[in-house]
Amino acid sequence: MAASLKGVSLKSWPDIYLPPIGEVNFPVLKLNDSNRGLVEVATGKEFRLYVCGITPYDSTHLGHAATYLAFDLVNRYQRLSNRKVTFVENVTDIDDPLLERAKRDNQEWSVLANSQIELFQSDMSALRIIPPEKFVKVTDSMELIESFIGKLEKNGYLYQVDGDFYFSCADFLSSLPQSLNDSIRIFAERGGDPTREGKKHPLDPLVWSANVIGEPGWQSKYGYGRPGWHVECTAIACEYLDNEGTNPVIDIQGGGSDLIFPHHFMSAQIVKAALGRDFSDNYIHAAMIAFDGEKMSKSKGNLVFVSSLIKQGIDPMVIRWALLSGHFQQDREWNSKLLETAQSEVSLVRSSLARSEVFHAQSLVNDLITAISNNLDTPSALKLLVEWAKASHVNPSSNDAGLVSRAIDSLLGLAL
Ligand code: ZN
């Protein structure tokens, strides 16, 4: 394997302009934190957002899209509130499922990963997701991951089992989000190895695994091998977001609700052990998307891909509208009816925006902002917009169409 690199970030995708909305007030954003409930987030001038990225072998299904869309709304809101946003996202481009898929399809793993990363970038661009400042591949981050593992070692939280290195998490288990037995069960279901002999605690996660013959590896102080998942994210997040030694290091760690445990829990404990500080002020999670009654998942083979919908001729703004029509923290279903409704509502709003006179809109804009500030209440925001569009046909009384167009573009990412 080529020499590992430090501090490299991929080109993400073209930046997105947020049109100004004018003199409006942005209340502090409130989000439902998985540990703390509804809280005001990031009230300071700087806002540091880390969202866990894809493993590039099945991008981008609607579950991914819904998650990145939710954090895009957070990003937009914080920018419009005049906060300096730094947004970092990783790409887990070396992982067991990626290697398994490459083997199944008789493809070089890195070729598969790169092609899926490209697809992800074009899907994100089509959906008008603001790109991260740093979009970072794990395979470009081996040196900084190695050096982060060194901090765990220095502080006495690293041990070895037959050439593999584990993080000793026993000191940090008082805040487990469920019982120990349930934690062990979920840990095993999500790739952990609780029964491995020689481990100090069943929940200790791998931070560096020795190379398996035939698999890719990287040279490191911990031998030839590759890093574990949790330490990758913490190393990348701390490298690019920990500028000032603040506590906590970042404002939000985000991802899908399947990352609550063990991934985000372990990320928090690893940072505490390595730096002696809290990792993130908030842990925000987006719910799952089902398809025709079943959870969308790789194992069920019922994934719906953004790129296939676009290829079928569906307007990405209709996909965006359809995903926003449900609340980001409500497990919900994707089906053809949802898409049809989104199509007709988008057409209705477009036809109103094209009129020379529309219903007055200053209070609409304020109400949209209030809805988004309240834990990203997009279902209410879209309802308000539909009501306004209907009223514009019945009672046109102002030339506010441009204002609405700019507001929904900036706030909701809907360029209609
Ligand atoms: Zn992560």
Average pLDDT over residues 66-93: 97
CA–centroid distance, 356 to ligand 1, in Å, is 47
Tell me the per-residue pLDDT of 160-209, one tens digit each, with 9 for 90 and over. 999 999 999 999 999 899 999 999 999 999 999 999 999 999 999 999 99
Q: Report yes or no: 245 and 226 within 8 Å, Cβ to Cβ.
A: no
At residue 1, the pLDDT reads: 42
- Asked if the bond preceding 262 is cis, omega within 30° of 0, the reply is yes
Average pLDDT over residues 312-341: 96
Alpha carbons 189 and 307: distance in angstroms, whole number? 29
Q: Which of 114-123, 134-143, 257-266, 292-301 has the lowest mean pLDDT?
A: 292-301
CA–centroid distance, 87 to ligand 1, in Å, is 13
At residue 405, the pLDDT reads: 98
Q: Would the pLDDT of 46 be above 50?
A: yes
Average pLDDT, the chain: 95
CA–centroid distance, 42 to ligand 1, in Å, is 20
pTM attached to this predicted model: 0.96
Average pLDDT over residues 70-99: 96
Between 59 and 55, where is the model more confident? Answer: 55
Sheet with 206-210, side-by-side order of all strands: 158-161, 164-167, 206-210, 225-227
| Percentage of the chain modeled with pLDDT above 90 | 91
CA–centroid distance, 316 to ligand 1, in Å, is 26
Number of neighbouring beta carbons within 10 Å of residue 73: 21
Residues 26, 52, 125, 297, Cα dihedral to 10°: -120
CA–centroid distance, 354 to ligand 1, in Å, is 42
Stated as kind and residue range, the H or E segment containing 4 is none
CA–centroid distance, 396 to ligand 1, in Å, is 48
CA–centroid distance, 217 to ligand 1, in Å, is 20
Q: Which of 245-249, 263-267, 283-287, 364-368 has the lowest mean pLDDT?
A: 245-249
CATH numbers and ranges of domains, the chain: 30-179+205-286 (3.40.50.620), 316-412 (1.20.120.640)
At residue 7, the pLDDT reads: 60
At residue 2, the pLDDT reads: 41
Strand ranges inside 151-205, DSSP E = 158-161, 164-167
Q: Report yes or no: 278 and 247 within 8 Å, Cβ to Cβ.
A: yes
Q: Could you give the 3-state DSSP secondary structure of residue 37?
A: strand
CA–centroid distance, 134 to ligand 1, in Å, is 14
**For residue 28, what are its two tokens?**
């502090």
Distance linking the first and last C-alpha atoms of the chain: 47
CA–centroid distance, 363 to ligand 1, in Å, is 39
